[in-house]
Amino acid sequence: MLSCLKNIKQQTPTMDPTSLITNISLKTKTFAVKIENIDDSHIPWTIANFEVNDTIPQDSSKSAKVLYAVINNRIYLKAIAPFNKNEFEQIFGFSCGQFIKNRIISFSRSHVNIY
């Protein structure tokens, strides 16, 4: 599936606070997420703020730092730092309070706004 990425030069993501960081927000609340078990060494990752909406009405949304890539109309998100928010844990398939560094998930690009 990701064999088309073999010829892409590997990029090291940077977290320069002076650069503009992409924001990703969900368009829908329900969607199918796939936990990926892939070699991601050839994926051109980019740092982003992943806006995690709160399921409690009137509560605030927060942003988690993730790496992302869009390949073949799917978005790939990579967890890079713990983010203690139930909705984030659910999206990434973590148990309550669990964090697995570098876990990669994917879902249809149609479920997110990237700006």
Number of domains present in the structure of the chain: 1
What per-residue confidence (pLDDT) applies to 45? 98
The verdict on residue 8 lying in a domain is no
User: What pLDDT digit, counting tens, does each position of 16-70 carry?
Assistant: 454 579 999 999 888 999 999 999 999 999 999 999 988 877 767 899 999 999 9
The DSSP 8-state label assigned to residue 8 in this structure reads S
Number of C-alpha atoms within 13 angstroms, CB side, residue 77? 32
In a domain, residue 108? The reply is yes
Domain with 102, as residue range(s), is 20-114
Give the DSSP H or E segment for 51: strand 46-52
Please give the model's pTM, rounded to 2 decimal places.
Answer: 0.81
48 occurs within a structural domain: yes
For the chain, helix (H) and strand (E) counts, in that order, are 1, 7
